[in-house]
């Protein structure tokens, strides 16, 4: 029984750990500096927790096996060991809190600093169950919004105010395109309930909260077409609330924008 | 009310005779404990059934189930499950499991039954209040289940019920009467938990036997005590939040709903509320709730490991401090559920540091369990198997928390299956292993018979491997960025690669849930046909093993036990046997 | 009893934090004119605290003081009801505005708790009036008095919050 239990613990944990080495299911490719930093912090955490995981489960299996075998003599009478308690308490405290502090700078770069100057603003508005992307158009200004003018069927899902001249050239589309290597600032809103804007390749996720506008920024470095998913439960169509992010060469992006503004 | 009912006056109640007073509206803490336990047993099988339906739907979304249509005519029209039915199953699964299983069984069930006996009391401090707590909880459960059968069905908003979704009937089917019933149910549950917590705290403080100082209490009592304190503070906040949400729904107030929302093409007539306010209040309750679920399991595991290693617990003091530290820190970490919710990114850092520090007392407990096993003479009984399994899943589930506690890493994992894997391991599976260990351990005391050991072992093997097979792959789903609460995996292309994992998990879940029928059979079969149990079948040391199995109505038959030593005096050198009972005055000299 | 009060404190602490947060972030907050009868109600409640304290100290012949307290308590509740009616007459409803929502919520929650106190008082005073002696009589009076003082203090706190914080 002791050997069997130890072996089962070891094998089960080995099976759990194995795909982390083989990387059969792994992060999608990282397409920004920030995404790579997140990956680094993840790998660092993985190494630390991985070592603890293996040591702890090995130790558990070992004591089960070693002290579960039939042997003579009584169990050791001991109420513990204060030196050891202090030792492992401080060791884990240093490790865990050290990890947090290391990760702090990655967090700070996206969240404490605003978007760099020259970033392209894109307003992202979630609604059950689609994403609306709004570009400011040539004038660089977003038009005012008026909820009474919202008309999903009539092509004005956001209710861009027809009386505001700044809104005349606004472009509202269901998918997002950005030029490669240009900073982009997202202005996140929602029309109804809480959603969450998630692009796995950017390692970027942010809830869109009713009543709030939240700004985040990114710079995509690899041309390609990526999926945008909703990551916060928003109702029955949550699972299919997706859109696309297309990262394009600057010239293609201009063409893309042009095509949509002439409509 | 502590003044109203001084310690011993309250339990002068005599043994009742009629069936109703004895088994239905009983004042006996043991009967109430069993009532809670069986309520949780019903709830856990309902909850598991819901999860199987969900798992089935994820793999075979188009499969035709005629019987499901009979049960949910709207949600499964034509026999095929709709996404809204999936989400309401998910909401109810979470709510039933968190409240009516993980809070009910370990604390209200075993706590009620065992705590008074372990501290040498005849009953809880306020028996009538105790009965009231159970029946209010029961009504809460009935109200919750009723949500399935009202127009629109059960709510879709998850067990966290974030507004504005949970505040607006327009937000989807199930957000009408179903959501209202859900809130009422939780309010009832909170009120009952408050009463229960009062009872537990007063009992622990006032009714301990002579000689049973706090630092001689079994660790189980410590965990029930600290859990009650957490419950007292946390459920009060949930109750308040529930009242606010209910008023937003039925009285037209705007605590959580901001202005300018357009839901289902309708302009919502609310203004100025804050959805984040709900999240703060909810998680201020919700995170301590995690510890409410797991702490009693930690106590049971400490007790069981010490008993069957035949060794005193390693570092009793450190264990007590760790329990207290977990309880205290538990109230300072709620923000880690909200890193990407629009909360200030600066407070995210503060929450992160506190969150990671709560890993320290958890690690201490793990070290001490392994330290207790070290040098022991292990007896592989079924409760011991589950206790060892607990340590393994606790390590696994705890370490995945180290990823989620860091804002930059959580940025990717938040609301993915990685989170689902994490909290199922640590809050679900670990707590359930605690419940299993407690059931196999105290069954002889509760029913006077032993549970079948080979069947118990079989149950353990399938369950232990099964839970890793069900929840292990969810980590990998998290790695590919698979969001949780998706009714189907067809909506987003990159999730196609997850299909084999989902298939594997569904099959594993079917087998694991099937194995729980072995447990159910063992439980009821042993109740009537099991081998008769002696007073102290495990050769354990705490006070519940000094009374007959099952104990008489007032536990100690009028005697007042006196305690002479700490709870885990095993293998004391020079003692005649390898254990010394807590109420045994004699071989005190042999110990130090 | 202290623990029960702890739970009540948590409930109201949660409401208060909701109040502060909700007020801090919203642009639609409109101060409401609190009905002046609230001042009278406050005086009545303070008086009732004095009478129950008297009852607690009297020990033996406490029944008339207990009765007086229950009457004053009931009068306070009636006064609160009048205040609600006046607000309604002025067109201020539960859902009118966040500050009015909180006014009804807080006074309502306090009223429910106080109603429990009044019922307990009726029970204790009734038994004492019939001249009954029971083992825990003094304990019961003490507990009720403690709860009553607490409800009084809680009201003062809420009144202050609504007066000063509501602006």
Cα atoms in the Cβ-side hemisphere of radius 13 Å centred on B220: 32
Structural domains in chain B (count): 3
CA distance B175 to chain C (A): 20
Residue A198, CA atoms < 13 Å, CB-side half-sphere:
30
- pLDDT reading at A138 higher than 50: yes
The answer to whether C85 faces chain B, any CB pair under 8 Å, is: no
Best interface-test mutation with B: which of C1, C5, C10 has the largest number of B CBs within 10 A? C10
Domain's final residue, options B209, B240, B260: B260
Burial of C128 (0-12, 13-18, 19+ CB in 10 A): buried
Residue C132 pLDDT: 65
Of B530, B559, B574, the one marking the end of a domain is: B530
pLDDT value of position B14: 65
Residues in chain A closer than 8 A to B367 (CB atoms): 84-85, 88
For residue B430, being part of any structural domain is answered with: yes
HEC-encoded secondary structure of B277-341: HHHHHHHHHHHHHHHHHHHHHHHHHHHHHHHHHCCCCCCHHHHHHHHHHHHHHHHHCHHHHCCCC
Both structure tokens of B413: 């994992």
pLDDT tens digits along A154-191: 888 999 998 999 988 899 999 999 999 999 999 999 99
CA-based radius of gyration for chain A:
26
- B456 and B417, same domain (yes or no): yes
Token duo for residue B429? 């599976």
B355 and B471, same domain (yes or no): yes
Band (A8; pLDDT cuts 50, 70, 90): very high
What count of other Cβ atoms lies within 10 Å of the Cβ of residue B590?
A: 13
Q: Does domain C33-165 have CATH number 1.20.120.80?
A: yes
Most B CBs within 10 Å, among A42, A43, A75, A159, to test the B interface: A75
CATH number of the structural domain spanning residue B82:
1.20.210.10
Instruction: Give the CA distances from residue B434 to residues B298, B389, B539, in Å, rounded to whole numbers and listed in that order.
Output: 7, 9, 20
The number of beta carbons lying within 10 Å of the beta carbon of residue B142 is 12
The residue of chain B nearest to residue C10, with distances taken between CA atoms, is: B236
Q: Does C7 touch chain B (CB under 8 A)?
A: yes
At A134, which helix (H) or strand (E)? strand A130-135
Of B232, B243, B259, the CB nearest to C7: B232
Superfamily of domain A120-261 in CATH is Cupredoxins -  blue copper proteins (2.60.40.420)
Chain A partners of B84 at a C-beta cutoff of 8 Å? 236
Of the three residues B235, B260, B285, the one that is the final residue of a domain is B260
Chains B, C: CB contacts under 8 A, how many?
106
How far away is chain B from the Cα of C47, in angstroms, using its nearest Cα? 24
Q: Do B402 and B493 sit in the same domain of this protein?
A: yes
Cis geometry, peptide bond prior to residue A129 (ω within 30 degrees of 0): yes
Both tokens assigned to B50: 């819901």
| Pick from C10, C21, C146: CB nearest B274 | C21
Identify the residue with better confidence: A6 or B347. A6
Alpha-carbon distances, residue B8 vs A13, B4, B117, B300, B560 (angstroms): 51, 12, 14, 28, 11
Query: B526 with B578, same domain?
Result: no
Same domain, B205 and B96: yes
Instruction: Tell me which chain C residue has its CA closest to the CA of residue B285.
Output: C14
Residue B7 is predicted with a pLDDT of: 39
What is the chain A residue with the closest CA to B496?
Answer: A25
Per-residue pLDDT of chain C (167 residues; tens, 9 = 90+): 777 777 788 788 878 877 777 776 666 677 777 888 888 999 999 999 998 888 888 767 777 888 888 899 999 999 999 998 888 888 888 777 778 888 888 898 899 899 988 888 888 888 877 766 677 777 888 888 888 998 888 999 888 888 877 66
The answer as to whether B9 is a domain residue is no
Identify the CA nearest to B567 among candidates B214, B226, B301: B214
The per-residue pLDDT string of chain B (592 residues; one tens digit each, 9 = 90 and over) reads 333 433 343 444 567 777 787 788 899 999 999 999 999 999 999 999 999 999 999 999 998 888 999 889 888 888 899 999 999 999 999 999 999 999 999 999 999 999 999 999 999 998 999 999 999 999 999 999 999 999 999 999 999 999 999 999 999 889 999 999 999 999 999 999 999 998 999 999 989 999 999 999 999 999 999 999 999 989 999 999 999 999 999 988 888 998 889 988 888 888 878 899 899 999 999 999 999 999 999 999 999 999 999 999 999 999 999 999 999 999 989 999 998 888 888 888 889 988 988 889 999 999 999 999 999 999 999 999 999 999 999 999 999 999 999 999 999 999 999 999 999 999 999 999 999 999 999 999 999 999 999 999 999 999 999 999 999 999 999 999 999 999 999 989 999 999 999 999 999 999 999 999 999 999 999 999 999 999 999 999 999 999 999 999 889 988 889 999 999 999 999 888 889 999 988 754 544 4
Q: How far apart are CA A67 and CA A71, in angstroms?
A: 8
- What range does the domain containing B589 cover? 539-592
Checking C160-163 for CB contacts under 8 A at 24+ apart, the result is C161/C16, C161/C19, C161/C106, C162/C34, C162/C102, C162/C103, C162/C106, C163/C34
Residues B518 and B554 in one domain: no
Annotated domain spans of chain A = 2-68+85-111, 120-261
Residue B19 falls inside a structural domain:
no
In this prediction the ipTM stands at 0.95
Q: Closest-CA residue in chain A for B573? A: A77
Cα–Cα distance for residue pair B140/B98, rounded to 1 Å: 13
Nearest to B239 among C6, C11, C18 (CB): C11
Alpha-carbon distances of A184 from A160, A221, B518, C116, rounded to whole Å: 22, 12, 57, 59
Residues A40, A36: Cα–Cα separation, whole Å: 6
- Per-residue pLDDT at B590: 46
The answer, for C1 touching chain B at a CB cutoff of 8 Å, is yes
Domain assignment present for residue B266? The answer is: no
Cβ <8 Å between B489 and A235: no
B202 contacts in chain C (CB < 8 Å): 3
Name the residue among B82, B494, B571 with its Cβ closest to that of A227: B494
Give the phi and the psi of residue A217 in degrees, each rounded to 5.
Answer: -145, 155
């Amino acid at each position: 029984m002791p050997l069997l239990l130890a072996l089962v613990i070891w094998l089960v944990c080995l099976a759990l750990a194995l795909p982390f080495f083989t990387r059969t299911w792994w992060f999608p490719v990282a397409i920004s500096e920030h995404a790579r930093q997140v990956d680094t912090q993840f790998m660092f955490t993985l190494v630390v927790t991985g070592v603890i995981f293996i040591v702890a489960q090995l130790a558990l299996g070992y004591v089960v096996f070693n002290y579960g075998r039939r042997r003579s003599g009584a169990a050791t009478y001991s109420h513990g060991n204060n030196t050891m308690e202090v030792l492992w308490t401080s060791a884990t405290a240093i490790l865990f809190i050290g990890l947090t502090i290391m990760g702090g700078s990655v967090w700070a770069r996206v969240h404490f600093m605003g978007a760099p100057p020259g970033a392209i603003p894109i307003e992202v508005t979630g609604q059950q169950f689609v994403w609306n992307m709004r570009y400011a158009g040539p004038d660089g200004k977003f038009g005012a919004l008026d909820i009474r003018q919202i008309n999903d069927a009539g092509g004005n899902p956001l209710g861009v105010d027809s009386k505001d001249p700044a809104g005349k050239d606004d472009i509202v589309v269901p998918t997002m395109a950005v030029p490669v290597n240009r900073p982009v600032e997202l202005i996140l809103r929602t029309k109804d309930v809480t959603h969450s804007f998630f692009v796995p390749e950017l390692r970027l996720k942010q809830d869109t909260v009713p009543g709030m506008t939240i700004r985040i920024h990114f710079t995509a470095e690899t041309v390609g077409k990526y999926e945008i998913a909703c990551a916060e439960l928003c109702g029955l169509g949550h699972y299919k609330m997706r859109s696309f992010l297309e990262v394009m060469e600057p010239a293609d992006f201009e063409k893309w924008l042009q095509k949509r503004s002439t409509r | 009310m502590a003044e109203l009912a001084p310690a011993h006056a309250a339990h002068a109640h005599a043994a009742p005779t009629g069936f109703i007073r004895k088994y239905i509206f009983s004042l006996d803490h043991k009967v109430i404990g069993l009532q809670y336990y069986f309520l949780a047993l019903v709830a856990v099988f309902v909850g598991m059934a819901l999860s199987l339906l969900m798992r089935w739907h994820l793999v075979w979304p188009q499969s035709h189930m005629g019987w499901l249509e009979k049960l949910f005519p709207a949600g499964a029209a034509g026999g095929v499950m709709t996404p809204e039915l999936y989400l309401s199953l998910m909401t109810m699964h979470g709510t039933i499991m968190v409240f009516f299983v993980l809070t009910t069984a370990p604390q209200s069930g075993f706590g009620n039954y065992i705590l008074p006996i372990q501290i040498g009391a005849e009953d809880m401090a306020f028996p009538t209040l105790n009965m009231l707590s159970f029946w209010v909880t029961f009504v809460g459960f009935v109200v919750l289940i009723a949500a399935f059968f009202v127009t629109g069905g059960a709510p879709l908003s998850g067990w966290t019920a974030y507004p504005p979704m949970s505040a607006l009937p327009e937000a989807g089917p199930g957000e009408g009467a179903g959501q209202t019933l859900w809130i009422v149910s939780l309010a009832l549950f909170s009120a009952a938990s408050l009463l229960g917590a009062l009872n537990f705290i007063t009992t622990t403080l006032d009714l301990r036997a002579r000689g049973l100082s706090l630092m001689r209490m079994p660790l189980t009592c410590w965990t029930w005590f600290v859990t009650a304190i957490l419950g007292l503070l946390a459920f009060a906040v949930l109750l308040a939040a529930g009242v606010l949400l209910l008023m937003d729904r039925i009285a037209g107030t705007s605590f959580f709903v901001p202005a300018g929302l357009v839901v289902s093409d309708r302009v919502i007539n609310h203004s100025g509320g804050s959805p984040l306010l709900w999240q703060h209040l909810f998680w201020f309750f919700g995170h301590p709730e995690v510890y409410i679920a797991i702490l009693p399991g930690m106590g049971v595991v400490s007790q069981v490991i010490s008993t069957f290693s035949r060794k005193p617990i390693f570092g009793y003091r450190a264990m007590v401090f760790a329990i207290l530290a977990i309880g205290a820190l538990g109230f300072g970490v709620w923000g880690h559920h909200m890193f990407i919710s629009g909360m200030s990114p600066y407070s995210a850092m503060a929450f992160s540091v506190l969150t990671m520090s709560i890993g320290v007392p958890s690690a201490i407990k793990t070290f001490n369990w392994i330290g207790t096993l070290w040098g022991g003479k292990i007896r592989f009984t079924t409760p011991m198997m589950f206790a060892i399994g607990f340590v393994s899943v606790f390590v696994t589930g705890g370490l995945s928390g180290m990823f989620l506690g860091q804002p930059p890493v959580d940025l990717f994992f938040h609301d993915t299956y990685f989170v689902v894997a994490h909290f199922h391991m640590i809050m679900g599976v670990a707590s359930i292993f605690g419940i299993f260990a407690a059931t196999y351990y105290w069954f002889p005391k509760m029913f006077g018979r032993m549970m079948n050991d080979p069947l118990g072992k079989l149950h353990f093997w399938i369950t232990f491997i099964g839970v890793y097979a069900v929840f292990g792959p969810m980590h990998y789903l998290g790695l590919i960025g698979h969001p949780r609460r998706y009714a189907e995996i067809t909506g987003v292309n990159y999730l196609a690669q997850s299909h084999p994992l989902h298939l594997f998990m569904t099959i594993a879940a079917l087998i694991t849930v099937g194995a729980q029928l072995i447990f159910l059979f063992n439980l009821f079969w042993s109740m009537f046909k099991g081998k008769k149990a002696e007073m102290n079948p495990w050769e354990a040391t705490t006070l519940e093993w000094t009374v007959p199995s099952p104990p008489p109505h007032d536990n100690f038959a009028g005697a007042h036990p006196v305690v002479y030593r700490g709870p885990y005096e095993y293998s004391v050198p020079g003692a005649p046997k390898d254990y010394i009972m807590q109420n045994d005055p004699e071989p005190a000299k042999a110990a130090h | 009893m202290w623990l029960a009060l702890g739970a009540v404190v948590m409930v109201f602490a949660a409401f208060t934090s909701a109040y502060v947060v909700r007020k801090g972030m919203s642009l639609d907050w409109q101060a409401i004119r609190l009905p002046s009868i609230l001042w009278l109600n406050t005086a009545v409640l303070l008086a009732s605290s004095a009478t129950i304290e008297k009852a607690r100290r009297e020990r033996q012949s406490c029944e008339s003081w207990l009765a007086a307290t229950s009457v004053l308590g009931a009068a306070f509740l009636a006064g609160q009801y009048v205040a609600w009616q006046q607000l309604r007459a002025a067109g201020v409803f539960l859902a009118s505005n966040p500050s009015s929502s909180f006014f009804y919520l807080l006074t309502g929650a306090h009223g429910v708790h106080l109603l429990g106190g009044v019922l307990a008082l009726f029970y204790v005073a009734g038994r004492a009036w019939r001249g009954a002696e029971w083992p825990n009589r003094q304990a019961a009076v003490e507990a009720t008095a403690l709860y009553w003082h607490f409800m009084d203090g809680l009201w003062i706190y809420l009144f202050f919050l609504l007066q000063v914080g509501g602006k």
